[in-house]
Amino acid sequence: MKLTEFNMKRPGLLLASILAVTVSVSSFIWFSPKTELIKKDFSTAEKQYSKMLKSQTDLTQFPRTSDKNGAVKTTDVWDWTQGFFAGGLWYIYEYTKKPEWKAAATKWTEALEQAQFLTQHHDVGFVMYCSYGNAVRFEKDPAKLEKYHKILIQSAESALTRFDPKVGLIKSWNTKASWDKKTVWQYPVIIDNMMNLEMLCYVSKLTGNPKYKDVAISHALNTMKNHFRPDFSTYHVVDYDANGNVLHQQTNQGYADNSTWSRGQGWAIYGFTMMYRETRDQRFLDAAQKAADFYINHPNLPKDKIPYWDFNVNQSGYQPDWAYDANKLSYIPRDASAGALTASGLLELSTFAKDGKKYFTQAEMMLKSLSGADYLAKPGTNAGFILKHSVGSFPHNSEIDVPLIYADYYFLEALLRYQKIEK
């Protein structure tokens, strides 16, 4: 006798089995802890960014952090963080599919149009790819899409103005004094710059012109050679001469020249994983994995997996060249922005690495911590930002233990990656 025949003869049993199947399917769909966590976090994000959209109406001022009175602090269109708010709005749209989020994301993206000509520092990739780079994934109107494509192509051209083929890297900043006051960097390149390369790879695909991606590859190969120490921790700043010889390996935002600034290590993990995705060059995957292993195995990584702002604060053998006063704060602040972007990078790395499960599990722990009361803002607080407890630049005494817009951006991105990846 077939099961259906058996059930037909016993309608009560049939009903019971249908109910059992329905309950187990719906509990899988609705009550999986992963699904619930993502849903709760996006619900918080919607509440927070609704608040932000109400308070921030000047489209020339882009939310970045909060001040000591708890008010939103903004930047203008020429800084490095102005694309993250638009990007976060696109991620909320991607999750919710609610048209009002697309409208807000479009408005804040288009407010960045003139930044396509940003050439005074290297961050045009951060600014334009987090905003317009997300917009092109969702915009269906051909005229708008064509305009966005043109803006991204011009943005890539702007990035290329800072590439000197003799050096083989995109120059991050113009001349800048080091903390030890012994030198003025002439051609400083910071590890963060890896994050500007994704836009170049995209524009090569868009135009069919390999020149943008070639620059990205050259930059990544030279960064791989000169930014990593033998243990695959990273220097923040490498300064070059006009022929591409290394002059200095130092820090600007980290604790000491030989320390590991947490966000910088995160940029390396994320950036080399992304370059592996774009090129399938095994050397980039190896670099990403080794940088990730350094991070996740570090004895100073706290139990909740959200790093101190630098892995080596207060340790012997590490001497800041700037005025660090160990007594000023009674604790070493965490950097949730480093935690969020590393979680996002590790999730992508987990899809490429042979032992991907290891990176997935670590990223999952990071996301669980960031989703808890210690880091996730209570709706209506935190000036409308989603995450608490990030550090902008400790040595500059700037943005210490505050919300930061890029922590929010990479957190939302990581949640979307977490949703898509099954391990």
Binding site for ligand GLY (CB under 6 A): 80, 192, 253, 263
123 is catalytic: yes
Residue with smaller CB distance to ligand GLY, 263 or 305: 263
Distance from C-alpha of 382 to C-alpha of 388, rounded to nearest angstrom: 7
Residue with smaller CB distance to ligand GLY, 41 or 192: 192
Phi, psi of 370 (to 5 degrees): -65, -25
Distance from C-alpha of 368 to C-alpha of 304, rounded to nearest angstrom: 9
Please say whether the beta carbons of 418 and 364 come within 8 A.
Answer: yes
231 is catalytic: no
Minimum separation from the CB atom of position 302 to ligand GLY (A):
20
The single residue listed with the structure tokens 């993990």 is 269
Measured in whole angstroms, the distance separating CA 268 from the mean position of its chain's CA atoms is 11
What are 75's strand-pairing partners? 62
Q: Which of 145, 144, 73, 158 lies closest to 115, judged by CA? A: 158
Token output for 248: 């200095």
Residue with smaller CB distance to ligand GLY, 271 or 320: 271
Minimum separation from the CB atom of position 340 to ligand GLY (A):
12
Count of alpha carbons within 13 Å of 106, Cβ hemisphere only? 15
Determine if residue 241 is left, alpha or beta; phi over 0 gives left, psi from -120 to 50 gives alpha, anything else beta.
beta
Token output for 292: 């990730």
Token output for 168: 């083989």
Provide the H-helix boundaries in 192-250. Answer: 197-207, 211-226
Residue with smaller CB distance to ligand GLY, 253 or 371: 253
Rg over CA atoms, the chain:
23
Q: Which of 272, 244, 278 lies closest to 168, judged by CA? A: 244
Catalytic residue among 58, 76, 79, 192: 192
Minimum separation from the CB atom of position 129 to ligand GLY (A):
14
Distance from C-alpha of 309 to C-alpha of 254, rounded to nearest angstrom: 8
Token output for 133: 């780079």
Residue with smaller CB distance to ligand GLY, 253 or 342: 253
Q: Which residues of 64-99 are buried (b: 16+ CB within 10 A; e: fewer)?
A: bbbeeeeebbbbebebbbbbbbbbbbbbbbbbeeee
Biggest CA pair distance of the chain: 90
Name, in order, each residue with C-beta under 8 angstroms of 412's C-beta and a sequence gap of 6 or more: 41, 42, 45, 88, 91, 92, 95, 386
Strand-pair category, 176-177 with 184-185: antiparallel
Catalytic residue among 123, 239, 257, 335: 123
Token output for 216: 């990205």
Measured in whole angstroms, the distance separating CA 423 from the mean position of its chain's CA atoms is 22
Minimum separation from the CB atom of position 279 to ligand GLY (A):
23
Please say whether the beta carbons of 422 and 338 come within 8 A.
Answer: no
The catalytic residue positions are: 123, 192
